[in-house]
Amino acid sequence: MSNGPQYIILKEGSSESKGRDAQRNNIQAAKLIAELVKTSLGPRGMDKMLVDSLGDVTITNDGATMLKEIDVQHPAAKMMVEISKATDNEVGDGTTSGVILAGSLLEKAEELINQDVHPTVVVDGYMKALEKAEQVLEKIAEKVDPSSRSDLIKVATTSMQTKLVSDDAPFLAGLVVDAVSQVAEKQADGTYRVDIDNIKVEKKPGGSMMDTKLISGVALDKEVVHSAMPKKIEGAKIALINSPLEIEKTEFSAEIRINDPSQMQEFLDEESNILKGMVQKVVDSGANVLVCQKGIDDSAQQYLARAGVMAVRRVKESDMTKISKATGARIVTNLDDLSAKDLGNAKIAEERKVEEDKWVFIEGAKNPKAVTLLVRGGSQRVVDEAERSMHDAIMVTKDVIEKPAIVAGGGAPEVEVSYQVREWAQKLTGREQLAALKFAEAIEVIATILAENAGMDPIDTQVELRARHAKGEKWAGVDALSGKVSNMMSKGVVEPLAVKLQILKAATEASSMLLRIDDVIASSKMSAPPPGAGGGGMGGMGGMGGMPGM
Ligand code: ADP
Ligand code: MG
């Protein structure tokens, strides 16, 4: 390099890290992220308190939430955050596990790279091992009946048990399972589909978590629009209107010349006649509840009240859709089109007090395809975290209803996969075998960390788990609550097969992608802090050796 001309192809201020350096750097960053979330894994995991730049506090145990809230700078660290996002979108749970697994796969890969195994060989070995691992999971998984409430409750409880709300998990799991089962729709081929948008999760601090309710219908954070209207209607016939019950104001100002006072009166009468006409159409349809996406004029409110109609205005579009699904009402734009067959039915529409607010509940439809979970709890932070764990529980219930197969939790499937991959790797040769064996070692991490977080000895536990799996106990796992190795299937700690498959796949793919990188070129544009100055929300992450300015 010292002879001959030097060619500069990068803009001034850009930085590049190459080969081993780039790899080591990326692996280091990814491992740090895994390190960060690992103490939160499992029912004995700790929570994180996150403070954003405005001083807002979030307390959470959810991997995806943690990584969303912290400001990660390093590109490899960002990739880890993406694993958790992808897992969250796909299956809704297992976000922490995915990140921990990727960190572990990279750690083991690094050991091989340090022994001069080429990264592409590691990647190939990992990919083959992944394929085998997926087959093992499919084979050991147990089929369940998607309409078996007790099995679904086990799945939802396992997911919720690892969160802040663990004491109330069984109760909340019951509500979640009932909610998801109600909106599940059977397909022509006999399988089910769940659109979780049909489950509205509303939260309101106050009361206790045990006051959380499943409403077979919709709860609207709105009050009845006029005080003279009925506050409770049984046998509700609901009209959904998405246009205003108001006289439209023109864009430009119009001038009306009035020559004598009677004309003035005529003009006002005309206005109120139009509104009266609108209300009459609602009344003629037979509706006794009006839910309007837009505004309702004061005098229209009075006419409605006089006709005994309960009305709510300025309802969100998404809520309109849910009411439509819950009650069978059709959303009508033009009042002239409104007729009896557009109305939805519910047992009751009622305004109730929820703490200091008044909400309207539309409940008891015959076959509601949209439901509401009203989450209660001691404080805003508690209901926020409860909502997040309910989201995970809703997703795992959906996962099992759509793909009715489960595995045990507590690291049991991971140890079993590890055991079987190790056996299978004996058939491979050379360096590929080395990589497959490392893969097997890497995925045991879930069990080890669960044990560590439960205050058990990780090495002893690992030894016991390996021995019991070798004897054919495929569901031997870490029972974090009793601190022993147990059969997790009979303990009722179960998870969707879909979650385990997704975690393995996302983690292996992301670590493979990082391993293939041997050159990181950072343009100068993003180089705010000078080399080594750190910066960013994650002290130390910014200054991680050799990558100035990233
Ligand atoms: P993730 O974001 O990966 O879902 P969690 O903190 O929810 O992270 O932990 C999930 C892990 O905890 C899974 O491996 C699951 O099997 C395990 N787990 C759940 N309940 C128990 C339990 N009672 N004993 C041991 N492990 C459990
Ligand atoms: Mg979880």
Whether 96 lines ligand 1, by a CB cut-off of 6 Å, is yes
Q: Which ligand sits closest to the CA of 101?
A: 1
| Residues catalogued as catalytic | 62, 95-96, 392
Closest-lying ligand 1 atom to the alpha carbon of residue 40: 6
pLDDT in tens, the chain (550 residues): 456 677 767 677 677 777 777 788 888 888 888 888 898 898 887 777 877 777 787 777 777 777 777 777 778 888 888 888 888 888 888 889 999 999 999 999 999 999 988 999 999 999 999 999 999 999 999 999 998 899 999 999 999 888 766 678 889 999 999 999 999 988 899 899 999 888 989 898 988 888 899 988 888 989 999 999 999 999 999 999 999 988 876 667 767 777 777 777 887 788 888 899 999 999 999 999 999 999 999 989 999 999 999 999 999 998 999 899 889 899 999 999 999 999 999 999 999 988 888 999 999 887 788 888 999 988 888 888 888 889 999 999 999 999 999 999 999 999 999 999 999 999 988 888 999 999 999 999 999 999 999 999 999 999 999 999 999 999 999 999 899 999 999 999 999 999 999 999 999 999 998 888 877 777 766 544 444 444 333 333 333 434 443 4
Question: What gap in Å lies between CA 42 and CA 454, rounded to an integer?
Answer: 8
Residue 1: exposed, middle, or buried by beta-carbon count in 10 A (0-12, 13-18, 19+)? exposed
Q: 41: CA distance to ligand 2 center in Å?
A: 8
Question: What gap in Å lies between CA 90 and CA 83, rounded to an integer?
Answer: 10
Closest-lying ligand 1 atom to the alpha carbon of residue 478: 25
Whether 99 lines ligand 1, by a CB cut-off of 6 Å, is no
Q: 61: CA distance to ligand 2 center in Å?
A: 9
Question: What gap in Å lies between CA 15 and CA 7, rounded to an integer?
Answer: 15
Q: 57: CA distance to ligand 1 center in Å?
A: 24
Whether 453 lines ligand 1, by a CB cut-off of 6 Å, is no
How many Å is the Cα radius of gyration of the chain?
30
- Whether 47 contacts 60, CB under 8 Å: yes
Provide the CB-side half-sphere exposure for 377 (13 A, CA): 21
Mutation choice for ligand 1 from 85, 99, 388, 450, CB with most ligand atoms inside 8 A: 450
Sequence-ordered list of residues with C-beta below 8 angstroms from that of 170, at least 6 positions apart, any chain: 153, 157
pLDDT given for residue 454 in this prediction: 92
Question: What gap in Å lies between CA 382 and CA 218, rounded to an integer?
Answer: 22
Specify which residues 325 forms β-bridges with.
none
Question: What gap in Å lies between CA 39 and CA 45, rounded to an integer?
Answer: 6
pLDDT given for residue 242 in this prediction: 92
Atom 12, ligand 1: residue with shortest CA distance? 42
pLDDT given for residue 32 in this prediction: 87
Question: What gap in Å lies between CA 110 and CA 130, rounded to an integer?
Answer: 18
Whether 409 lines ligand 1, by a CB cut-off of 6 Å, is yes
Whether 92 lines ligand 1, by a CB cut-off of 6 Å, is no
Residue with the two structure tokens 């590890």: 418
Q: Which ligand sits closest to the CA of 42?
A: 1
Instruction: Let me know how long the chain is.
Output: 550
CA dihedral 421, 145, 395, 59 (to 10 degrees): -80
Atom 16, ligand 1: residue with shortest CA distance? 409
Question: What gap in Å lies between CA 336 and CA 340, rounded to an integer?
Answer: 12
Q: 466: CA distance to ligand 1 center in Å?
A: 19
Question: What gap in Å lies between CA 538 and CA 67, rounded to an integer?
Answer: 11
Sequence-ordered list of residues with C-beta below 8 angstroms from that of 258, at least 6 positions apart, any chain: 264, 267
Question: What gap in Å lies between CA 211 and CA 313, rounded to an integer?
Answer: 27
Enter the DSSP assignment of 166: G
- 116's tokens: 């001069």
Longest dimension (CA), the chain: 104
Question: What gap in Å lies between CA 45 and CA 37, rounded to an integer?
Answer: 10
**42, 37, 107, 129: which is closest to 447 by C-alpha?**
42
Closest-lying ligand 1 atom to the alpha carbon of residue 95: 2
- Whether 514 contacts 178, CB under 8 Å: no
Question: What gap in Å lies between CA 341 and CA 9, rounded to an integer?
Answer: 71
Question: What gap in Å lies between CA 523 and CA 542, rounded to an integer?
Answer: 15
